[in-house]
Amino acid sequence: MGDLQAFLLSWKFEPTILIGVGLAAFLYARGWYRLRHRGRGGLILKPWRAWCFAGGLVTVLLALVSPIATFDSVFFFMHMTEHVLLIMIAAPLIWLGAPMVPTLWAFDRRTRRWLGELFHEDHPVHRVFHFLTRPGVALATFVLVLFGWHFPPLYDAAQGSTLVHELEHFMFFGSALLFWWPVIHPSGAERRLSYGAAILYLFPAKIAGFVLGAGLTLSSEPYYQTFLNSPSIWGLDPLGDQQLGGLIMWVVGGLLYIIPLLALVIMMMREDEGDVWIPETVRAGDSAQARASRAGDSARTDDASPTPAGVA
């Protein structure tokens, strides 16, 4: 068996990961199906959102179950690939899937009402999440987690301990979900960051990845004790392995930021052009509503409604 074949066969089927991802997929799919059958799903859920959510879950599996995960204890660059997949691809794709409504509709009416209470504006759970997804808080958390876990003693501690390693993954993925929330804003409520501000919001994270990646790539000695003892496979010594990992963060991570940046620029331009992408009939409806609003008889249209429509 060649090395490549051995690599491709090295899957790590951890039951808890498969169960967690399967559960998320089941809830989304069940809610999607029920909404579609009520005749409203097609209006709320476009197919591309489901594809994004599925893509996010597949990326989680790719990061944590595929040969990339199996080799993360042997190669630093595999571990870096795993993290890039989780924070730069899986997290934004899951938010692009706008999982709130379909997940809610996976439950029966009573449970939906209960969950609606739980996530109400004045509920502590809501307040905590609202605070954590403030742009400043989310960005700071993301950058701190990124730098913190690459500090050699912490990184080595994570490699040496199964539980700490899982905690590392949990924090990377969790902070990435918080970080991407203000950019993607999957709730559909009023954006806390305009498209222009979201572009500026991405730059500190991009620079943080750039600094860290460049530091690892240009280093003259390996920083991490764990990989000093790793066997030399495929001609990679510990320093070369670290430099390759740094390049992945520096170049691949940097390139991946271009996609949301471009998307935000396009969204901003469309907005400035007067929503030319919105069908004429819809814009006509909006204009009528605006006139009604000016006349003083318009209802509030923000997301502060005490009875979420999705719970009804």
Partner 1 sequence: MTPTRGRRVSPARRSDRGLPNPTAPRNLAILPALAVAVALGAGTALANGGTVRIAEAPVGPWVVTVYSSPTPLRTGEIDISTLVQDSGGATVDVPITVTATPVGFVAEAVLQPATRRQATNKLFKAAKFDIGVPGRWVFRIHVGSAAAAAGGPSPVETVDDTVGTDPAGMGEADPGGVVSFDAVVAKSTILDRPFLLAALVGLPLLVTGWLLLGRDAEARADADGHPRP
Q: Which residues from 210-269 bind partner 1, rule CB under 8 A?
A: 226, 229-233, 268-269
In this structure, the chain runs to a length of 312
Provide the sign of the torsion angle of the four alpha carbons 170, 175, 176, 182, taken in this order.
positive
207 lies in the site for partner 1, by CB under 8 A = no
Q: Which of 51, 190, 207, 276 is close enough to bind partner 1 by CB under 8 A?
A: 190
191 lies in the site for partner 1, by CB under 8 A = yes
Name the segment binding partner 1 (CB under 8 A); options: 138-146, 211-219, 240-248, 284-292. Answer: 284-292
What is the number of other CB atoms lying within 10 angstroms of the CB of residue 149?
A: 19
Provide the sign of the torsion angle of the four alpha carbons 161, 164, 168, 174, taken in this order.
positive
Closest of 25, 35, 30, 29 to residue 309, by C-alpha: 35
- Assess contact for 79 and 114: CB atoms under 8 A: no
Q: Which of 37, 38, 110, 294 is close enough to bind partner 1 by CB under 8 A?
A: 110
Closest of 55, 78, 200 to residue 139, by C-alpha: 200
189 lies in the site for partner 1, by CB under 8 A = yes
145 lies in the site for partner 1, by CB under 8 A = no
Q: Which of 51, 147, 151, 170 is close enough to bind partner 1 by CB under 8 A?
A: 170
CB of 25 to partner 1, least distance (A): 9
Distance CA 94, CA 198 (A): 18
92 lies in the site for partner 1, by CB under 8 A = no
- Name which of 69 and 244 has its Cβ closer to partner 1: 69
- Name which of 42 and 255 has its Cβ closer to partner 1: 42
Burial 21-38 (b: 16+ CB within 10 A, else e): beebeebbeebbebbeee
CB of 289 to partner 1, least distance (A): 6
CB of 309 to partner 1, least distance (A): 4
* Total interface residues for partner 1 by CB under 8 A: 105
Q: Which of 58, 154, 167, 214 is close enough to bind partner 1 by CB under 8 A?
A: 167
Question: E strand or H helix at 132, and its extent?
Answer: helix 124-132
- Residues in 9-68 at the binding interface with partner 1, rule: CB under 8 A: 9-12, 14-21, 23-24, 27-28, 40, 43-46, 53, 57, 60, 64
What is the number of other CB atoms lying within 10 angstroms of the CB of residue 241?
A: 24
